[in-house]
Chains A and B, each alone.
Chain A
Amino acid sequence: MKSWKLLKVPTGSPLLHWEPRARLLSLLVLSFAISLVDQVKLLPWMLVMTGFFIIKSQVSLKALLSRLGYPSLLIVALVGLLPFVAEGRVLVQWGGVSLTREGLEAALLIAVRFFCIVSLSLLFLGVVPLLVHIRAARSLGVPDLITDLALLVVRHLEILSTDWQQMRKAMRLRGDAAGFWQRLNTRAWLLGSLLLRSHERSRHVYQAMRLRGYGAATPNPVNPSSMTAQSQQMTVWVFFAALSLFTLQFGWPS
C-alpha cells in the first residue's frame, strides 16, 4: 500500500521520531491556538513560531512551499479582495476603489493564520506515512469503525483512480457517446460499474483483514514514559508556543 508521505526530511529530524499521538494532539492544540489570534500585532510572533518549527524539522523550504500551492489557491481570492471590499478608514483611493485599514488587517490575519496552520499541518502530518496517523487516532479513542473505514479508503484511493482512468480510456477507444446527456448517462453507468466491481474486491480485502486478526488487539494506553526525549522536547515546544499565543492574545494591553 502506498504510504502517502508528503514531505521528505532527514533521518535526524525530530519530527520523524515524534510519538504519533502526541503529534496529533500537539497539532490540534497549536492550530486552535493560532485560530484564536485576532490581533495584527501577534502576526510576526506567529510567523517566527512557524519558522522555528520549519527550521527544527529540517524540511526543504522549497518542498514545503510547493505543497502549499494548491491549498493557497482557495484563499487567494478572498485575501486579495478583502482590503477593497471592507468598510473602514480609507488608506488609499483610486477612483471608485478604496483600500481600507480594517480590510487590510482582516486579510493579513486570514492569510497568516492560514499559512501558519497549513504549514504546521504539513510539517507535523506530512513527514510520516498516513497510516501512522490513523493508528494514532485509533489509540486516542476514535472508534475502530471509523479508523477501519479510513484505512480502507486509503487503499481504495489508489485502486479506484487507476481503474477509473482505465475505464475512461477504454470508453474513448470505443468511440464514447456524443452529446452531453448521453455522456452523462454513460459516465453514471461507468461509475456504477466501477463501484460495483470495487465493492466486491473491497469486501474480500476487509474480510481477509478481519480473519488475520485486524482490530482484535486493544490499543495500548498512553504512556508518557515511552516517549523518547526528542518526542517530549517537541511536545514541550508546541505547548510553549500555544501558551505564548494564548497569553499574548489575552494579556496584550489594548
Chain B
Amino acid sequence: MAGEISISGVGETAYARRSERNVVSLAVEAVKNAAADAGLELGAIDGLIPIGSQITADDVMGALGLPLRFVSTTPLGGAAAVANLQLAEAAIHQGAASNVVILLAHKSASHATIDKRVRSLPGQTLRTELEIPYGWQTPAQWYAMICRRHMHEWGTTKDHMAAVALTMRANAQLNPGAMMYGRPMTREDYDAAPPIVDPYQRLDCSLETDGAAAVVIGVDGRAGVRVAGVGVGRPSSPDDLSNRRDWMAIGLSEAAPRVYEQAGIGPADVDAAMIYDCFTFEVIHQLEEAGFFPRGEAGPRIAAGAIALDGELPVNPHGGLLSEGHLGGLNHVVEAVRQLRGVCGERQLPAPERIAVTGWGGMGDGSMAILERAAG
C-alpha cells in the first residue's frame, strides 16, 4: 500500500515580512488552496497535522468546520515538516484518516521570532543551567559552533558559504513568490552584511516569514507524487550539542541510509535536493551527512557550481529558507511536488523523477524524504 499514498495537493499564502492578517486567516487560505489543488472538497479532509506553536487543530476546525477524526503532530522543530510525512502515512495506513493535511502557519517575522520559538524546544533545563548564562541561546549561535568546527576540521570557508547564499538568491530571482524576488545579491552584499554570530553574517541566515503552507496526503491523489521513503533521526545526545563524540553526525546522518533503503535507491539516483537551509553552512553540512558528498567536499563542489539550477545536484530551486521564505521547510515539500509535476516555469528543472527533502531542527534532529514522480 505504501506506493499508493501520495501527496495530492499543495497550497500556500503569499510569503511576507509582515502580514496584517492573523495566523488563522493565513492557515485557512493555505488549507483551501491545498484542498483545491488536490481536487478535494474541504469536507473530505479528515486528518490534520499542525506544525509549530502558532496554529492548532482547534483554530482550523473552528474556522472551517472540518470533520477531523485524526489530529496529531511530531514536534521536531525544523525537522517536523518532513517528519510529519511519516506520521501522515502512518495515520492513513492505520485507517485513522483518508486525507491528511500537514499545515504550518506562523507570523514569525512580525510576531514570534526565533529567539522566542526556541523556548518551546526540549532540553530547557540544560539551556537554562549551562548555556543561556553564557549568552548561548539561539539556533544561529548553536549552529555557528558546528560551522566553526567544520571549517577547522573539514576546510569549509566563507567562500563556500557565500556560494550557498548567492545560489539561493539567484534561484529566488526566478521565483515570483519568493520574498527576495527582484532583490538580487552580489558577493559584495554578502561580505558587507553585519555579523550576527561569527562566523555567520546576516546573509548566512534564513529569513523570518509571515505566511502559511499546507500539503495534502491521501490515497489516489491526482498529483502523481508519492513518498518513496521517509525517516527521522536524532543525534546521540539529542538535547546536547556539545558532548557528541562525532560532532558532524546528526539525526540526518542516521536517517538518510534508512530512507535510501526504503526507496530502493542511493544518493546518485536523486535528481535534486531540497535542503533545510536555515543557515548557509547547514546546506554544506546536510549535503554531506545525507550522503551526496563526502565530508569536506560539499563546500568546494558548491563553489564550483554543483548545486546551481544547472549543476549536478540542484538545491532549492525556489530559493529556500534563505531567499524564498521560512515556512519551516514545508515550502521545500511544496517546491519538490511542483518540480516533480513540472509546473515551475523559469526555474523548472528538466523532468526530475526523484527529489530528496531534508529537515533539521533543535540540537540536530533530522528528517528526510524522497519524493518520486509516480509512473503514468
Task: Tell me if chain B binds chain A.
Answer: no
Q: Which residues of A contact B (CB under 8 A)?
A: none
Q: Which residues of B contact A (CB under 8 A)?
A: none
